[in-house]
Chains A and B, each alone.
Chain A
Amino acid sequence: MTDTTAAPAFRGASLTEPDARTRRRNAAERRFRLLGVGAVAIGLVALVILLGSILNNGLSAFRQTYITFPITLDAAVLDKQGNRNPEEMKKVTTIGYGKLMQQALLDALDEQGIDKGDLTDKEIMALLSKEAPADLRDAVLADPSVVGQTIPVNAFATSRLDGYLKGRVTMESATRDANISPEQLQLADRMEAAGLIEKRLNWGFLTRPDASELRPEAAGLGVAILGSAYMMIVVLVLSLPIGVAASIYLEELAPKNRWTDLIEINIANLAAVPSIVFGILALALFINTWGLPQSAPLVGGLVLTLMTLPTIIIATRASLKAVPPSIRDAALGVGASKMQAIFHHVLPLAMPGILTGTILGLARALGESAPLLLIGMVAFVRDFPGAPPQGLLDPASALPVQVYTWTQRADPAFVERASGAIIVLLVFLLTMNALAIILRRRFERRW
């Protein structure tokens, strides 16, 4: 009976000499292991390519091509009354400034002895951004004393010229482009050689508002960053107290009954509801029913709060749970009420964990765009929102939504700016996550 089951080939096998079957099995083992290495490698490579392509496309957005030349701000044109009153000087439109700039640019070319080729004055002027005269006008109105002087201007070059210097536009593509011609680019080459054209760091990318379709070179993230900041304030102010209150109730006080079960199920499900559905809720409830304005950071903040709450509640409950019961018993043992035990002892001990969870929740909210599309955040907003609280109702944009709007525009220069905006967004996210990690490292308590 005992012999029937024995497999002779196996019995006699030496331990050091693997038989064919074992060799096969070990080969399968190595293949499986290799598959695992491959899977991890694919994940890592995807991460590297993702970040690499964003950096590669977007870093150049932080540098911009400028044309620098001296301009004489003719008082006869800009300030006919001569009393330097900004209110009166407002009558001169950007067209007036444009003419002045055109003349100054042509003069600068002549002075440097740069061959203008067959280009008309208008074509030469087209090298400048259409935003440049408006910028000059703003600068003069802000400081009327410069009128009558000769000052150097740093004007944005048009995005095609900028693209030429960054390699996005080539002589060949310019032949097919209505907005720029090879002759213009040749002139730009000569101007660059003479030092009139230069690529420099562009802080305006972070501070300026968005610009129109035809002026990508002037577009910036100022309104979007401010709008995102406002929304984060709203989210923080609402979701932290509400989230902590809800967690305390559910973790410390709630009786085990149908109602609390219902709440628990709801929280778990809300965490999985697609973000776009929250956008629909915001549109139907906040905007159509309550009549809150579109594009307002307050509305964006509200919808992001609803989305962030489950995350914060889950994190908070975890850190409340991590506080050992002995602490509660100790407090109750000296006659504290249940509320006192929670608020004096448990909550302070759980605070680092709660803050970490909140920061991570905020980071997720900061990157969220889908619901914001539906509440009108895609609108073209050039004016900075006012100071809170009133400013929370002013139209604004948001960082991720700005990325989306820029991708929807025809000019390829906006793709560069969209990538640049992503870099800014990622830097913010990285900072928040680093903060959360530091907080956790420094204050984490092991019981």
Chain B
Amino acid sequence: MNDMRLTERVVTDTAKMTARGVQVHYGTNHALKDVDVDILDKTVTAFIGPSGCGKSTFLRCLNRMNDTVASARVTGKIEMDGQDIYDPRVDPVQLRAKVGMVFQKPNPFPKSIYDNVAYGPKIHGLARGKAELDEIVETSLKKAALWNEVKDRLSAPGTGLSGGQQQRLCIARAVATSPEVLLMDEPCSALDPIATAQVEELIDELRSQFSVVIVTHSMQQAARVSQRTAFFHLGYLVEYGETGKIFTNPDDPRTESYITGRIG
């Protein structure tokens, strides 16, 4: 596994998703204003910014999770591999199979560990039989670095795991549908430092297979795991670029203030 990671550690320049002029309103609240971003393939992109800056909102636009919020209205254009994902012909169900998501708080289903991971493949019909499904579950759990901890108790309820394990279970669950993009909404905020480190390590490994977009509150985390960083403030995308550049030599004074801890 390790050597594979080394060989694949390359930053590609092909855009997986592109967002142009995205605006989001929640009722009368203008939550996101005119955002342009390119999410690169096989890259970890971090969204940072103070609370309520719109970073999570934008993340939820990328797999149309905002559709489940009745008052949300999204305008602008978001494309994935050149296809407009807000095209009325697009089925959000199919989109979300390609754009997986991991949430702030671990939210395993009240089912067994096995069923948690098998849920996605089952509904999308990815496995042709029980053996294949077993294999998907096993590889997904391995990718989420959870296999060794749970392989003896796959039928135990997922809710019985520790917080860090639950979050990795949720990552395994998302990975099991073989998404092309994985969205992570502050995946470590409910975890202790050790679990956080495990998940961060995991993110780095996952990058070899998909684009990862991570929303985080922690600038250190963004600096550790991401190759590109976007800074959001008050609903605007202030600055977007190489992580190294954003943290050492930002163009915008607001970014600098945030990085140095003057706003936030």
Contact = CB atoms under 8 A, between A and B. Distances in A.
Interface centre among B91, B123, B139, B209 (most CB of A within 10 A): B91
Interface of A: 1-2, 4-7, 10-11, 13-16, 18, 21-22, 25-26
A15 B124 contact: no
Contacts of A18: 91, 94
Contacts of A10: 97, 124, 126, 178
A11 B178 contact: yes
Given A5-B140, A15-B98, 13 more contacts: A2-B209, A4-B135, A4-B139, A5-B135, A10-B124, A11-B178, A15-B80, A15-B87, A15-B94, A16-B83, A16-B87, A21-B124, A25-B93
A136 B123 CA distance: 81
B209 A22 contact: no
Given A5-B136, A6-B178, A7-B178, A14 B83 contact: yes
A1 B143 CA distance: 10
A21 B97 CA distance: 13
B3 to A, nearest CB: 12
B130 interface: no
A16 B124 CA distance: 16
B262 interface: no
A2 B7 CA distance: 14
The majority secondary structure among interface residues of chain A is: loop
A8 to B, nearest CB: 10
A13 B90 CA distance: 12
A347 B83 CA distance: 62
A13 B94 contact: yes
B91 A26 contact: yes
* Residue with the greatest number of chain A CB neighbours at <10 A, chosen from B85, B124, B140, B208: B124
Contacts of B93: 22, 25-26
Contact of A25 (B123, B135, B139): B123
Nearest to B85: A15
Contacts of B87: 15-16
B125 interface: yes
Interface string B86-113: 0101110111011000000000000000
Contacts of A6: 178
Nearest to B4: A1
A15 B90 contact: yes
A15 B95 contact: yes
Interface residues of B, number: 26
Given A1-B139, A25-B123, A26-B93, A15 B209 contact: no
A3 to B, nearest CB: 10
Contacts of B83: 14-16
A5 B178 contact: yes
B109 to A, nearest CB: 18
Contacts of A11: 178
Closest 9 CB pairs of A and B: A7-B126, A16-B89, A15-B90, A15-B83, A21-B125, A5-B136, A5-B139, A6-B178, A18-B91
A1 B85 CA distance: 30
A233 B91 CA distance: 61
A18 B80 CA distance: 16
B94 to A, nearest CB: 6
B205 to A, nearest CB: 11
Contacts of A25: 93, 123
Contacts of A26: 91, 93
B245 to A, nearest CB: 31
A4 B136 CA distance: 8
Interface string B64-85: 0000000000000000100101
Nearest to B124: A10
B249 to A, nearest CB: 36
Contacts of B178: 5-7, 10-11
A2 B8 CA distance: 12
B91 A15 contact: yes
A359 B224 CA distance: 63
Given A2-B209, A10-B124, A16 B136 contact: no
Contacts of A22: 91, 93-94
Q: For B97, B135, B178, which residue has the most chain A Cβ atoms within 10 angstroms?
A: B178
A282 B128 CA distance: 67
Contacts of A5: 126, 135-136, 139-140, 176, 178
A16 B139 contact: no
Interface string B174-205: 00101000000000000000000000000000
A14 B83 CA distance: 8
A21 B124 CA distance: 8
